[in-house]
Structure 1
């Protein structure tokens, strides 16, 4: 029912997203096995980076799963997955520093991070409702419901767009810290950390591309239904 002129683009972006996700997994798997120069675990690096930036009250916690790492701006916690928290690898160090990068953004009240945090909950609820609004609007010929669904999809697109500078900046902060403190050690360590962070960044680019393709598709359908 929601097939449109951008359906092929959505399929292509989906395939690309799967390839990027596989690339991230293989990249982290590779560098997650290489011991970093200082023998520091992800938790060690996160704690060090937080303390040196005046964030001693921000806890570093272990969470279940693989690459489930995230910073919680509401609870003010750095959460590291099992493959990062207690592992002294190049990959773990890079991921941990990236998540602390978000904590530093929060401390500095980075506008994009603040906006993303405020958008997260309402957009999550809106995206659960959007498909039903689109379906009802399409079946009942109610343009108001249809366009409300389009607006909610537009909000998701904005969320993904705002996410890009937030994630890129966190990776920039992470790599700069690791290099400045000499934690990457050799050129190989720097390259490994950069590869992990780049692979992770590509997943957010893919997320934005998918949101854009879906929005264009829904927008086209809504226009043709008027």
Structure 2
């Protein structure tokens, strides 16, 4: 996972973003003292790739922005190609300038698993996510992706053959009082994923206090997603 910072950093976006409209993503960058640009050059710090890939990406047929960024990196530029999920984690970590009062905290939980296509009951996984949404009052976004981009562009996987593998990623966000302990909530989530036959992933979580109000407002613009087989 790439660490995304904002202060004084420049961003360019390509591909279709799954969670934010591009204009909103650019505004969030500016709200954290970064800036956006439309061109790829050696002054660029981050090229953010939308989570909805073009069909040609699987075969290495990337657009001009990605091709140029890869060449600049090969030539020694301090440019990073990062995923939309890394960008979103950066927004979680760094508060915007208009973050508002701190009157609650967020527990942000992430789960990630790589598995063989066909070995997981996706309907059972969807049912658990839907149950979690209904019973925990959480904001949930979940995706199933082919991991080729993560291997080729983000260097996340070392498997030689990923043709039949799928990548499941999920973010769960819940509001808590400032003095409440979120560990029990995280443990419950972990047990739920463990109950899905064949699913063996990694869970991580963090508490967010600074910038809670503005990030909660941002979540209102992001649709909940628990369906994986649509």
After TM superposition, the score normalised by the length of structure 2 is 0.23
Considering fraction of residues, name the structure with more helix.
Answer: 1
After TM superposition, the score normalised by the length of structure 1 is 0.23
Q: Which has the higher contact order (CA 8 A, sep 6+)?
A: 1
